[in-house]
Amino acid sequence: MVERSAVKILVLDDESFMLKLLNRILSNLGYSSVILCDSGRAALEKIADVDAVPNVILLDLNMPEMDGIEFVRHLVDRHYPGSLILVSGEDERILQTTVKLVRAHKIPILGYLHKPVKPDALSELLESWAPSAAGAAGMAKKVYAADELRAAIEGGQLVNYYQPKVAVATGEVVGVETLARWRHPADGIVFPDQFIGVAEAAGLIDDLTKAVFAGAMAQAKAWQEMQLPLRVAVNVSMDNLASLDFLNFVAELAAKEGIAPQNVVLEVTETKLMQDTRAPLEILTRLRLKRFRLSIDDFGTGHSSLAQLRDIPFDELKIDQGFVHRAGTDETLRAIYDASLSLARQLNMEVVAEGVQDREDWDLLRRTGCDLAQGAFLSGPMLPEDVPGWMKLWRERVRTELFLTEDVRK
Ligand SMILES: [Mg+2]
């Protein structure tokens, strides 16, 4: 339990009346270490002093000159290690969007408050602040050196996990997505967000993708021999598609392992804007001509865009998880989910909903006729040896509960 007087708070609001009011509320609650600022610029000057860096900033979103969102960007540039509480008179949707924006910048956010601020609500949010949590979240994730990653790839420290994709209409398990993990000798299991960036920057992405692909094809062959004909998907970065070498590698390896191209899915993401798209377009079109399946991954985010749909003959569209979970109850998410589904239909693509987390999400997919589901409601990524056992349990769930109508369950 932290002494309230020890928590350093900065209040940023352009209205002096609000500053006084919040200061009084905070002081009544026992928070005495409070700095008041009436502009983003003044607040940034305070934060520049290492000893005065606040633990929590109460941030008004609507301010002249520098608004709250611009202020957050400055906080990111300065590696602000504390937490945020948003305060605004704006409607719920703008607040929610801003919360997402701030979280995307990895700044911990304790919550948001509507004006007029209620002391109870403010007290509750401040109570949720804890130095340990803030410290852990504020601590940068470990960055691995390119040499260490190169040695890991060569030394076989990358292992493939597999996450199932299921047909929504029948419950049939149609395939899996391959997800790379780094089994680090000292740090344990390391996730892709901690090494894909390094791989791309250091020119190791080809070696990495090839290692993952080779493992996936060997596994597909093993499943095929066990009478489990699973379509296996591998994530491919646009960076992989700069040279014809990759095309030959994929085609030759699949042929060598005896995997039909129809059972190989390449999930394509674009992490940065491509300078020259001619080579990737040619390679993707030729892979498609060889009957490999092409999937546009995380549709609706980043550069996974309409222009790509126009230019590349995709077979499958994966609706990003951010538009799937809770789309049954959130109107904005639902509109984006519906539009993505209908777009895929009109372009004759199969649709995969990512991020299916609960029964409500699953029922939405059934009601709307989405083709495939992927997400924690089915299963997270698992080791290949666990797949057959999981399939057995899944079939049991399909038989006993997953196709009951919603009325029967109630
Ligand atoms: Mg993917």
Residue 268 shares a structural domain with residue 397? yes
Compute, in angstroms, the gap from residue 101 CA to the centroid of ligand 1: 22
Compute, in angstroms, the gap from residue 68 CA to the centroid of ligand 1: 33
The whole-number pLDDT of residue 388 equals: 95
Compute, in angstroms, the gap from residue 177 CA to the centroid of ligand 1: 7
Cα–Cα distance for residue pair 82/104, rounded to 1 Å: 15
Residue 150 shares a structural domain with residue 34? no
Contact 295, 265 (CB under 8 A): yes
**Which run of H or E residues covers position 235?**
strand 231-237
Residue 243 shares a structural domain with residue 362? yes
Residue 162: helix, strand or coil by DSSP? strand
Characterize the bridge pairing of strands 158-167 and 173-184: antiparallel
Compute, in angstroms, the gap from residue 402 CA to the centroid of ligand 1: 25
Number of structural domains, the chain? 2
Compute, in angstroms, the gap from residue 193 CA to the centroid of ligand 1: 13
Per the domain annotation, does 195 fall within a domain? yes
The whole-number pLDDT of residue 51 equals: 76
Q: Buried b vs exposed e over 149-162: b needs ≥16 C-beta within 10 Å?
A: bbebbeeebbebbb
pLDDT of the chain along its 410 residues, tens only? 578 888 999 999 999 999 999 999 999 999 999 999 999 999 998 888 877 789 999 999 888 888 888 898 888 888 888 899 999 887 777 888 888 888 777 788 898 888 889 999 999 999 888 774 444 444 446 778 899 999 999 999 999 999 999 999 999 999 999 999 999 998 888 988 889 888 988 899 999 999 999 999 999 999 999 999 899 999 998 888 888 899 999 999 999 999 999 999 999 987 665 667 778 888 999 999 999 999 999 887 766 678 788 888 899 999 999 999 999 999 999 999 999 999 999 999 999 999 999 999 999 999 999 999 999 999 999 999 999 999 999 999 999 988 876 555 55
CATH of residue 150's domain is 3.20.20.450
Compute, in angstroms, the gap from residue 316 CA to the centroid of ligand 1: 11
Per the domain annotation, does 409 fall within a domain? no
The whole-number pLDDT of residue 274 equals: 61
Q: What's the domain range around 72?
A: 4-138
Per the domain annotation, does 171 fall within a domain? yes
Q: Tokens standing for 237?
A: 């970065």
End of a domain among 120, 138, 156? 138
Per the domain annotation, does 408 fall within a domain? no
Compute, in angstroms, the gap from residue 317 CA to the centroid of ligand 1: 11
Compute, in angstroms, the gap from residue 178 CA to the centroid of ligand 1: 8
Compute, in angstroms, the gap from residue 266 CA to the centroid of ligand 1: 9
Residue 67: helix, strand or coil by DSSP? coil
Compute, in angstroms, the gap from residue 340 CA to the centroid of ligand 1: 17
Cα–Cα distance for residue pair 88/216, rounded to 1 Å: 49
Residue with tokens 């700044």: 107
Cα–Cα distance for residue pair 87/85, rounded to 1 Å: 7
Compute, in angstroms, the gap from residue 245 CA to the centroid of ligand 1: 22
Residue 89 shares a structural domain with residue 153? no
Query: Which residues neighbour 332 within 8 Å (Cβ) at sequence distance 6 or greater?
Result: 93
Compute, in angstroms, the gap from residue 234 CA to the centroid of ligand 1: 7
Cα angle 94, 95, 96 (rounded to 5 degrees) comes to 90
Compute, in angstroms, the gap from residue 179 CA to the centroid of ligand 1: 8
Query: Which residues neighbour 336 within 8 Å (Cβ) at sequence distance 6 or greater?
Result: 300, 323, 327
pTM, entire model? 0.69
End of a domain among 138, 157, 183? 138
Residue 95: helix, strand or coil by DSSP? helix
C-alpha radius of gyration, the chain, whole number: 25
